[in-house]
Every structure is written in C-alpha cells, then in structure tokens.
Structure 1
C-alpha cells in the first residue's frame, strides 16, 4: 500500500495521523517504523562498518543534535544515514528520539503562522539545526536559538514528506 493510500484510509476511519504514517516497515528490534528520523544525542559518535564494536570505524559524527535517518536495526545498533547519504552503524545509546531538522535553504524565513505572507520572526541560515515541535503536511513549527515559528517542510531535512507530528 502506498503512503497516500495509508493516509486516505486513516482519514476515512477518523484516525489521527502520526509520524508512523510515512514509514511502511517496522524495525525487528524496536518494532518502530523504518525508516525513521532521530537525532545525535552525543557530541561525538563513531560510525562503524557493521553492527558491533569489532567493526572498523569509518568516520566520527561530531555534531550534537544533527538529524539522522535510521534505515535498519540489529541488536543495540542502528544503521543511519545523514543528509548527504553517508551512513553506517551507530550504537543506539548515541541517538535520541528528540526530533531535529537541518535547514536546506539559506535565509529561510521562520514565520509567525503556517501560511505564506505571515510575519517573519527570524531567518535561519543554511545548515542550521532546529528542534521540531510539530509538523502538518506542509509546515513544521520549529525552535532555534530562542526563536519559534513555522517553516515550509520542503526546506527541511529530518522529517518525512508525508509525516505529521503532533
């Protein structure tokens, strides 16, 4: 069943949509949706070639709160990928369920309301990491550096295209 069919079925029976709508598969360890987004909890985290401490470290993530997409699970390990598509295995203790996004458009307006033409409350530079408060189908409410407002979801990486967060 494609994501639009799932959304239509959920709306037809009056279900509240959640972040799980856009993901079709469930992880074998957590039973949570795959793929799904999380954030980096630690300031630094090793990215390994495979799901164990014996696998080689390919590189190290060095940015706390960066959004990552979990694409697979194996025991205490999660295969993740970043915005550029670089991926590997990270121990689950380095990850957080706190949702963040990466701003993909330079000088993105953070608006007072989720509508074009609303008053800008801040402008976010390309690459800024913002915390997600909620998302509807087209907009996300974000907080960044003490500012709160709405941004068009299409300008963000770290939230699924049909994902709705309450």
Structure 2
C-alpha cells in the first residue's frame, strides 16, 4: 500500500513537472513577436534622427523626433517592418526596424532625475556591492552595456567602465542575463 501511494505521488509530481514545463514553453512562445524575437525587449536607436510615428507606416504623422544615436528603447509590439517602442520617459510610438540596433545601452536611474544633489548610481570595479567605486553616475546618464548577470551589468561611459547594479538602470530587465 505504501509503495502504491509513493508511486502515485511520483506519477503526479512528474505529470505536474511536465505540464509546468509545457506551460512555461507556451508562455515563452506567446512572448515572441512575428520576428521570432522576444517581446518586450531592449534595443538602441541606430540613427542620429529617428521619427517616432503615431502608427506603423510612413503615412502616419510624426509625433516626436529622437536626435541621439544609441539611445535605449524598449520594443513592445511588432507589425511588419515596424516596431512600437517605449522610451525611458514612457513615450510610445512606431519606428521602422531599420532604425534600430540590437546593441545594448541603458540609462542610469532615470526615475531619480531631479531628486537633488548627492543622488548617484555607483559604477563599481567588480560586480559586488562592497567593491570600490570607479565613478558616480548622475541619474539620466546614458551608458553602454556589454553583459548582464541578472544582478549586475558591465557598463562603459565617457572614460569609465565597471559594474552597475541592474536594479539601478533602465535598459535591462530585472533578472535578465546576457553576454
């Protein structure tokens, strides 16, 4: 009797694990856009001048123009060759995919902009909170990121490089890891 109960529990545990794996796989598939790439995802602006449109096509009005190459944006929707993006301020609109790059960048704590003097994001020598500080970044400073561990990102900015806490930047999701 005891073995039968244990076998039943084992069968249920395996069935649960398989169904959970199937659900995870289905959720991962549902989170992909028509391009086959995940949604949402972070990219950067490839061009110096990028028109943000109110709809997916050149027939739609331009609502904003970006003038900064390398600015991080988040792709939240895809339609044909058009990508609906969101910037760090929450502004949304459509951009042609040819104006976007897969290179990664981030903005240091944009939500802390204007909070007063003495508010900084620390760039550290190593990916540890006790590591020495290489530079203090003002909120809103743009950085390039090369890799993230899920907790820390390796970042470069004007003359300084080091590790920044992933929770203190906009341009990488919490827990996202990549090289």
TM band (smaller chain): 0.7 to 0.9
1:77 pairs with 2:82: yes
1:98 pairs with 2:111: no
Deviations 1:37-65 (A, max 9, x none): 00011111101011110011111112221
What is the TM-score normalised by the length of structure 2? 0.77
Secondary structure of 1:154's counterpart equals helix
The count of residues paired between Structure 1 and Structure 2 equals 148
Which of 129, 138, 146 lines up with 2:151 in the alignment?
A: 138
Deviations 1:67-93 (A, max 9, x none): 100011111110000012111000111
What residue number does 2:44 align with?
39
What is the TM-score normalised by the length of structure 1? 0.82
What residue number does 1:67 align with?
72
Q: Any gaps of 5 or more consecutive residues in structure 2?
A: 1-20, 22-27, 113-118
Secondary structure of 2:103's counterpart equals coil
Higher relative contact order (CA 8 A, sep 6+): 1
RMSD (Å) for aligned C-alpha atoms: 2.2
Give the deviation of 1:146 after TM superposition. 2.6
Q: Which has the larger radius of gyration?
A: 2
Contact (CA 8 Å) 1:129, 1:144: kept in 2 or not? yes
What residue number does 1:26 align with?
32
Secondary structure of 1:52's counterpart equals coil
Question: Hey, which bits of structure 1, 4+ residues long, moved more than 3 A?
Answer: none
Q: Any gaps of 5 or more consecutive residues in structure 1?
A: 1-8, 10-21
The structure richer in helix per residue is 2
